[in-house]
Structure 1
Amino acid sequence: MRVVYAYGDVPEFVLLGGLVPDLLCTSAAHSHVGTTDVDVQVDLEIQGGSVNASRLERALREAQFTPDTSRLWRWKDEWAPGMVVKAEFLADLDDVPNQQVVSFDGCESLGAVNLRGTGFAAQDWEVRTITSDLDGRPTTVALRVATLPAYLLAKVHAASGRALTKDWYDVAYVVHARGRTAPSAAVVSAS
């Protein structure tokens, strides 16, 4: 929230993890039990060149995030007592090997890790608004969020590659929670 606010406009990056299951499943009976990691797909930032990347780095610093000295693609937020939020920046570039770190021109400490499958988010997103307290007052920001198909494709790709239980949980949660919601008006009128 603070990073998007500091960015000053709708950022070019796409939110791919963290809040996304709850944003996709607003009618779910139970909240998603996830991590405090925030996965951010940055292919659109990369296409924008060094101006966008340096703007993102400035927004991170203004929001009091600090770079992880051992991982160029991870920044940490320890603003809330007893909690660490990790923002991880992901790319899906065809001309870069999988899992290779990409550094951004014009940035001191910002980069991304190239992970196959995350690019679905850069191809299929929607702008969402989020309202939260910022410095004691309600503040609304707009940001790009992966759509349900993009999220599921990226998560299934990650789950099959990493074989981590948390990835399969994310897929199961979203499929289950969305399966319990009422069909959209478009689906109802088509039947």
Structure 2
Amino acid sequence: MKTITIGKTLISVLSGDITAWTGDIIVNAANSGLLGGNGVDGAIHRIGGPEIMEQCKEIRKLQGGCPPGHAVITGAGNLDAKHVIHTVGPIWEGGGRGEAQTLADCYRSSLQLANEVGARSIAFPNISTGIYGYPKSPACDVALKAVSEFLREDRQDNRLEQIDFVCFESDNTDLYVQWLEHYV
């Protein structure tokens, strides 16, 4: 584990399964239809149980899903968290179609939503680096930059004390540990 502090918030890199994480909010790398899928999305729905899917279906009825870069929130079902924030990352198309901005928006919109519900802790997976094909090193840079910039803003609403990047694959863990010190 590697940890830095920005303001009053600890940022840590952890290796493991995000569905085993304990805290206020687990972030899900969802698809725009909010209908579950593979990877972290499938694991969160499978372990969290049908309550999460039912709430996602209600969100679909109200707003038709979730566009890339945005986030919505549900309960956490059987997960050891209070909520799941579902955010939709960009599909990598070579980097010239605003993918970095959309990915940064995923982190910012998730952090904003976490603050709106008064969360003190949040865990992020490596958004868009699986089936969506975003290269891991640039995705790590975007994630850490977006989070550190968010924390450095003069925000009266920031209640977050702990932000964890939970990396399932060891190469992602190594990248986040290596890059984390650049954002202190």
Q: Given the two structures, how large is their TM-score scaled by the length of structure 2?
A: 0.32
Task: Pick the structure with greater CA Rg.
Answer: 1
Whichever structure has more helix as a proportion of its residues is 2
Higher relative contact order (CA 8 A, sep 6+): 2
Q: Given the two structures, how large is their TM-score scaled by the length of structure 1?
A: 0.31
